[in-house]
C-alpha cells in the first residue's frame, strides 16, 4: 500500500496574539530573529488638539501572523511582545496561505474596510463582479441596516466587513 507522506516540517502561517499595543515592536523583534512575520497595517487619520496626522495602525488589534515550522513555536513565544498562539482542539491554529493572500489583497485595495468581533451569521453566497476585488467570494450579512459583504477569516474569530454597492455583487 502506498500512502501520501505528510510533511510535518513544512512551514505554516499561524495567528499570534500580542500584548496590547505591542504589535509593531513584536513584529520587529520577530524579524530580527529571522522569523517571517506579517503585520497587516491600515492608514488612519488621527486628530490631536493641535494637528492631524496619517499613521499606520494594526488592522487587527493585538494580532500578527508568523510563517514557521511547528518546532519553532517556542522561538515565537519567547519573543518580546508575543502573548500566545491561538489554539483550536489543543493545537496551535494555522491559517491557509490563500487566506493571508486574500487579506493582503484587501489591505492593499482602495475599498473601505471595517473589522468587527461581532459573530456574523452566514447568509447568501455572493461574488464581487466589478472593481478592485472582482472575483472575491463571500457572504451577505445585515449589518447596521445595510447590505454588505462579509469575508470570514477562519480561526481568528473576526470578520472583515467590506462596504460594497449591491450593483457590484452577484449570486453564485
pTM for the predicted model, two decimal places: 0.73
Residue 127 CA to residue 130 CA, distance in Å, equals 9
Q: Which CATH class is domain 12-95?
A: alpha beta
Output the CATH code of domain 113-171: 2.30.30.30
Q: Which tens digit of pLDDT belongs to each residue from 54-77?
A: 889 998 899 999 999 999 999 999
14: closest CA among 87, 75, 112, 101?
A: 87
| pLDDT confidence of residue 145 | 44
- Phi/psi for 99 (5° steps) reads -70, -35
Give the three-class secondary structure for 56: strand
Higher per-residue pLDDT: 62 or 4? 62
Domain boundaries defined on the chain: 12-95, 113-171
Q: Are 66 and 76 in contact (CB under 8 A)?
A: yes
Secondary structure of 70-112 as H, E, C letters: HHHHHHHHCCCCEEEECEECCEECCECHHHHHHHHHHHHCCCC
Amino acid at each position: 500500500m502506498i500512502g501520501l507522506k505528510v510533511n510535518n516540517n513544512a512551514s505554516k502561517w499561524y495567528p499570534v496574539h500580542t500584548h496590547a499595543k505591542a504589535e509593531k515592536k513584536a513584529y520587529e523583534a520577530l524579524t530580527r530573529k529571522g522569523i517571517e512575520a506579517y503585520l497587516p497595517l491600515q492608514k488612519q487619520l488621527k486628530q490631536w488638539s493641535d494637528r492631524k496626522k496619517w499613521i499606520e495602525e494594526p488592522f487587527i488589534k493585538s494580532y500578527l501572523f508568523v510563517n514557521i515550522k511547528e518546532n519553532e513555536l517556542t522561538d515565537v513565544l519567547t519573543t518580546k511582545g508575543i502573548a500566545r498562539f491561538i489554539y483550536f482542539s489543543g493545537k496551535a491554529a494555522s491559517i491557509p496561505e490563500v487566506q493571508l493572500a486574500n487579506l493582503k489583497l484587501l489591505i492593499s485595495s482602495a475599498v473601505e474596510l471595517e473589522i468587527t468581533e461581532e459573530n456574523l451569521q452566514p447568509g447568501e453566497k455572493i461574488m464581487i463582479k466589478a472593481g478592485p476585488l472582482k472575483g472575491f467570494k463571500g457572504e451577505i450579512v445585515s449589518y447596521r441596516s445595510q447590505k454588505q459583504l462579509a469575508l470570514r477569516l477562519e480561526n481568528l474569530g473576526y470578520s472583515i466587513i467590506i462596504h460594497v454597492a449591491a450593483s457590484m455583487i452577484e449570486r453564485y
